[in-house]
Amino acid sequence: MAPAGDWVCLRAALEAGCDSVYFGINRLNMRAGASNFQDSELDSVMEACHEKGIKGYLALNTIVYEGELDDLGEVLDMAVEAKVDAIICSDLSVIQKVRARELPVIISTQMSISNSESIKFFYETMGITRFVLARECTLEDIALIREDLNKKLGEVSEKIELEVFIHGAMCVSVSGRCFLSHYQYGKSANRGECLQPCRREYIITNEEEGESFSVGSDYLLSPKDLCTMPFIDKLIDAGIDRFKIEGRNRNAEYVLTVTKAYRDAVDKYFELCGNEGFEEDYEELKSELTEKMRKVYNRGFSNGFFMGMPADDWSAVSGSAAVQKKAYSGIVTNYYAKPGVAEILIHDNGFAVGDEIMFQGNTTGVLQQEVISMQVEHEAMEAAEKGMLVAVKTDKPVHRKDKVFIITDA
Q: Of 188, 120, 195, which is closest to residue 150 (Cα–Cα)?
A: 120
> In the chain, what's the furthest Cα-to-Cα distance?
75
Q: In this predicted model, what pLDDT tens digit does every residue of 265-281 receive, in sequence order?
A: 999 999 999 899 999 99
d(CA 92, CA 216) in angstroms, rounded, equals 41
Look at domain 2-175+222-302 and name its CATH class.
alpha beta
Distance between CA atoms of residues 340 and 363, nearest Å: 16
> In the predicted model, is pLDDT for residue 217 greater than 60?
no
Domains of the chain: which residue ranges?
A: 2-175+222-302, 324-409
For every residue of 247-313, DSSP letters joined together read -TTS-HHHHHHHHHHHHHHHHHHHHHTTSTTHHHHHHHHHHHHHHHHTTSS-S-EE-TTTTSS--S-
- For the segment 334-346, what is each residue's pLDDT rounded down to a tens digit? 999 999 999 999 9
Over residues 373-405, the pLDDT tens digits come to 999 999 999 999 999 999 999 999 999 999 999
Residues 6+ apart with CB under 8 A from 231: 139, 303, 306, 307
Angular region, 391: left φ>0, alpha ψ -120 to 50, beta rest: beta
Do the two domains 2-175+222-302 and 324-409 of this chain adopt the same fold?
Answer: no
Q: Residue 88: name the closest of 195, 225, 236, 246 by CA.
A: 246
Q: Assess whether pLDDT exceeds 70 at residue 176.
A: no
- CATH architecture of the domain 324-409 equals Beta Barrel (2.40)
The count of other CB atoms within 10 Å of the CB of residue 155 is 7
Mean pLDDT for 52-57 is 98
The 3-class SS string of 199-222 reads HCCCEEEECCCCEEEECCCCCCCC
Radius of gyration of the chain (CA): 23
